[in-house]
Amino acid sequence: MRMLRDVLWNLFKGRATVMYPEERGSPPDNFRGRLGFNRDECIGCGLCHRVCPASAIEMENDGRGARPVFHIERCIYCYLCIEVCPTKAIKPGKEYAVVTSRKSDLVVR
Amino acid sequence: MSCLALLFEWLDRKFVAKLQNRVGPKYTGPFGMLQPLADLVKLLSKEDIIPEGTKTFLFNICPVAAVLLLFIANSFVPTVHVEGVLKAEGDLIIILVIITLYLLTIYMAGSAAPSRYSLMGAARAAVMLLGFELPLMFSSLSVGFAAGGFELSKIVAKQFERPFIAGPHLIGFAIFLIAAQAELEKIPFDIPEAETEIVSGWLVELSSWRLAFFRFSKDLELVLLSGLATALYLGGPIGPVIPGLEVLLYPLYFLAKSISVLFLLSLLSTLFARIRLDQFIRLCWRYLIPLTLAYFLAMMWVV
Amino acid sequence: MGVYIPVGPQHPIHPEAILLKLKVEGEQVVDADVDSSFVHRGIEKALEHKTWLQGLYLVERVCGICNVAHSTCYTLNVENLLGVEAPTRAQYLRLVVEELARIHSHMLWLGLLAHLIGFQSLFMLVFRDREKVLDLMEELTGNRITTAYNVVGGVRRDIDPALEHRVRSTLEELRGRVKRYRKLIEEDPSVRARTVNVGILERSEAEELHAVGPVARASGIKYDVRADDPYLVHDEVPFNVVTLETCDAWGRAMVRVEEVLESIDMIMYSLDHIPSGPIRKRVPPVFKVPPGEGIARVEAPRGELFHYAKSDGSERPYRYRMRTPTLANLAALVYMLRRGDRAVYVADVPVIFGSIDPCICCTARVFVLDERGSRVLNLEDLGRSRGR
Ligand code: SF4
Ligand code: SF4
């Protein structure tokens, strides 16, 4: 019977549910989401490729040298690459809904 | 009546969701009102699976019988007038018999399937019957005695001045609600279904239209029991009327009353944890049944 | 007589794959066995192919709910081997996050218990309140569950005054809610009916079966790694080791709820007394660890978690081994299910099973070799040799 107060109280409260697809909460500033990459700042050191625990970074030669390609579907959002990058070429992002029907959307170059 | 059943399921889900700080059905129809219907249609379109070793005849007949029985029972309940759609001598007793028969279909459907879970669920349903059948019967019969007849129309008519709930019949109403909760297999007494123990009990092997029928029969039962409670204790569809407007007002009264009963049932289901079968039987035989008998005898005495 | 009822590997009792083989007579369980070998994931082997730092992120994924415990244990272990110690501020922050994780884990469990006994309202409300802790986690560490907060040499993010304030106010609010739930568990007749005297594990039995964590503490064993072998700043932050003598599922629930309240106090105290300073010692992303062996223990929400590492001097572990608390408690679970001196109903099985707070994904890796017969012993044999 202890529950009675709580449940009746809920009658006068708003819902706790976030109606997700229509209503998206914005993640806090610290949030680790899908990362971004600025190719111009990269010096091709390959450190990110070496540290990535999920092997989500491939190195690919684009004429200027080896540049990383990020496969978001494999990324575990540890941000280790961001931490080690000497030129801060990899940018943190806040996007958390990375669902897509095209695989190419999940590749960050 | 079908609409009413679906409406009641929706109301039940919505209200419980509200009590639990959730949203409940939302997307189908206005406020998700069509969700129960959508669920039914979806179930009907599912693949029909009959597990090997099933007693097919029982398995097929039970869902149909369940729905039919409850349709019949529901037709006796007065909704728009002092009398129900059907009317017979002693129809209260007919309804009570049908409720027991309905449980029989549950038991048979559960034991027709070869699964151990459903067998256990069926056995549990049968054992539970021992617990709540007497309270259900006696609490409604004593109203009949008080009204001097077992016709629902008579009972309703008797309440023109004052519904039975105002007065000593309040106890009967409470007993009826508890027994109805058990009959409906709602939360403190959802022992035969007990999702986390025996998966879904007697429902586990049912699929497609069988499951749809049984689910629908549960909704019908919801209507039946809240309608019955309304008729027995709350004066059915009658109430203060402006002459000439009975046709309009009676259904509204009925709806309002039975929906409040429904809300009471839903509220009850949010308050407790599921109890164990042995605890349920103990609860019934130690408290509920003596109370019922005392109440019944007291009513006889008065009459 | 009696029929076998399989509970699992797919069963609403638990989202993870575990099989309880129950022998049932009517509504009573007469025999039980457990098979937890459905989700062997080969994480220990995989660790041998990752560098020490990469391994951290794999270890974190051993268990979603205990990820903070695992990563704390791993970093402590590696730091030991390296001879590095995290700065004091980092240790305080680790403690804060660890206790936050304990709160959310215990609340998850409480919700789960409510679900197992069919108390849907309690389940919904507890999960609603747990969400607040997860939001705090998200703000503090960058993610709700897999925090990636600890790192060899310290922690990755600092806490700023605004966030600190939010943590305090949220926890203050939570304290009120948890106290209500405590009262509910204490007094609600239906909860009591389902948990009191269910899943009895006497103190001597718990000792013999090496139960850990809340299971042991509810049987009156005052054993908590945080108190007995402080690995962070636990000697500076005061807290009580909650023990109860009831030895049943109800006691386990109470121990956990009390621990949530203790954790809230610990976090408050840590936030008051946290020293300023660096939060991280720089350790290069790829490093070699001097040869040697090391162990670390932490008190995960479910009990004592144990890590063993062996290094051959390279940048990858030579061998890594973990013993998770659920594994330690499985023997007790089997014993509780099939003890002959008390009726165990089928309806009690979820409660007993739930009361050890099982986490199967981190458990399924054991096999024990019987040297004499050179055959693989499974848990069934283990439970038999210990329980009978
Ligand atoms: S965030 Fe982690 S997993 Fe993702 S690409 Fe960077 S290093 Fe790899
Ligand atoms: S670490 Fe930074 S600079 Fe080096 S390859 Fe990766 S992105 Fe480029």
Query: Nearest by CB to B273, which of C3, C117, C128?
Result: C117
How many angstroms separate the CA atoms of C109 and C113, rounded?
6
DSSP element (H, E) containing C351: helix C349-355
Per-residue pLDDT of C331-388, as tens digits, reads 888 888 887 777 788 778 888 888 888 777 666 555 444 445 444 544 445 444 443 3
CB contact under 8 A, C347 and B22: no
pLDDT at C371: 47
CA dihedral sign of residues B143, B148, B149, B151: negative
List of chain B residues whose C-beta atoms are within 8 Å of the C-beta of residue C347 = 191, 194, 197, 274, 276-277
Residue A34 lies in a domain: yes
**A36: three-class secondary structure by DSSP:** strand
Residue of C nearest to B273 (CA): C119
Domain count, chain B: 1
- Report whether C360 contacts C45 (CB < 8 A): no
Instruction: Determine the distance separating the centroid of ligand 1 and the alpha carbon of C357, expressed in angstroms.
Output: 32
Specify if A18 maps to a domain: no
Residues 6+ positions from C358 with CB-CB distance below 8 Å:
C14, C16, C18, C326, C329, C330, C333
pLDDT band at B167 (very low <50, low <70, confident <90, very high): low
* Chain B residue numbers touching C352 (CB-CB < 8 A): none
CA distance C300 to C302: 5
Model confidence at B232, pLDDT cuts 50, 70, 90, reads: confident
Condensed to tens digits (0 to 9), the pLDDT of residues A18-63 reads 777 777 777 887 888 888 888 888 888 888 888 888 888 888 888 8
pLDDT of residue C379: 47
Q: Report the distance separating Cα B117 and Cα B110, nearest Å.
A: 9
Closest to C57 (Cβ–Cβ): which among A28, A76, A83? A76
Q: Are C328 and C212 in contact (CB under 8 A)?
A: yes
Q: Which atom of ligand 1 is nearest to the CA of A79?
A: 1
pLDDT digits (tens, 9 = 90+) for C44-63: 888 888 888 888 888 888 88
pLDDT average, residue stretch C140-164:
86
Touching A: which chains, 3+ CB pairs < 8 A? B, C
Q: Which helix (H) or strand (E) element contains residue B182?
A: helix B169-183
Structural domain contains residue A72: yes
Contact B276 C347 (CB under 8 A): yes
Residue with more model confidence, A87 or B86: A87
- Mean local confidence (pLDDT), C270-275: 88
Q: Is A89 in the pocket of ligand 2 (CB under 6 A)?
A: yes
**Residue C15: is its pLDDT beyond 80?**
no
Structure tokens given for C107: 């609340």
* Ligand 2 proximity of A43 Cβ (cutoff 6 Å): yes
Does residue C185 contact residue C254 with C-beta atoms inside 8 Å?
A: yes
Smallest CA–CA distance, residue A17 to chain C, in Å, is 9
Q: Is A84 in the pocket of ligand 1 (CB under 6 A)?
A: no
Average pLDDT of chain B, as a whole number: 78
User: Is residue C350 reached through a cis peptide bond, with omega within 30 degrees of 0 on the bond before it?
Assistant: no
Question: How crowded is residue C241: how many other Cβ atoms within 10 Å of its Cβ?
Answer: 16
How large is the average pLDDT for residues C92-103?
89
Q: Do residue A19 and residue B26 have CB atoms under 8 angstroms apart?
A: yes
Pocket mutation for ligand 1, best pick of A51, A55, A67, A81 (most atoms within 8 Å of C-beta): A81
- Ligand 2 atom with least separation from CA of A88: 2
In a domain, A67, yes or no: yes
Chains in contact with C, where contact requires at least 3 CB pairs less than 8 Å apart? A, B
Q: Is A96 in the pocket of ligand 1 (CB under 6 A)?
A: no
CB of A47 within 6 A of ligand 2: the answer is yes
β partners of residue C345: C28
Asked whether residue A2 is assigned to any structural domain, the reply reads no
Q: Give the helix ranges, DSSP H, for B246-288.
A: 246-271, 277-283
**B256 Cβ contact partners less than 8 Å away, ≥ 6 residues apart:** none
Give the pLDDT of residue C53: 87
Q: Are C221 and C259 in contact (CB under 8 A)?
A: no
- Residue C385: predicted pLDDT: 45
Q: Which domain holds residue A71?
A: 28-108
Which chain A positions have a beta carbon within 8 Å of B13's beta carbon? none
What total number of domains does chain A contain?
A: 1
Position with higher pLDDT, C130 vs B80? C130
Print the domain residue range for B8: 2-302
pTM of the full predicted structure? 0.84
Out of 1.10.645.10, 1.10.357.10, 1.20.59.20, 3.40.50.2300, which CATH number does the structure's domain C43-328 have? 1.10.645.10
Query: Is the CB of residue B22 less than 8 Å away from at least one CB of chain A?
Result: yes
Is residue A10 assigned to a domain? no
Residue A96 C-alpha, separation from nearest chain B C-alpha, in angstroms: 24
Q: Is the CB of A81 under 6 A from ligand 1?
A: yes
Highest mean pLDDT among B261-270, C5-14, C256-265: C256-265
Residue C281 has a pLDDT of 85
Task: Please indicate whether, in this complex, the C-beta atoms of C142 and A31 are within 8 angstroms of each other.
Answer: yes
Ranges assigned E (strand) in chain B: none
pLDDT at position B84 is 67
The domain limits of chain C are 43-328
Is residue A44 lining ligand 2, measured as CB closer than 6 Å? yes
CATH label of the domain that carries residue A38: 3.30.70.3270
Q: Which ligand has an atom closest to residue A57 CA? A: 1
C30-44 mean pLDDT: 78
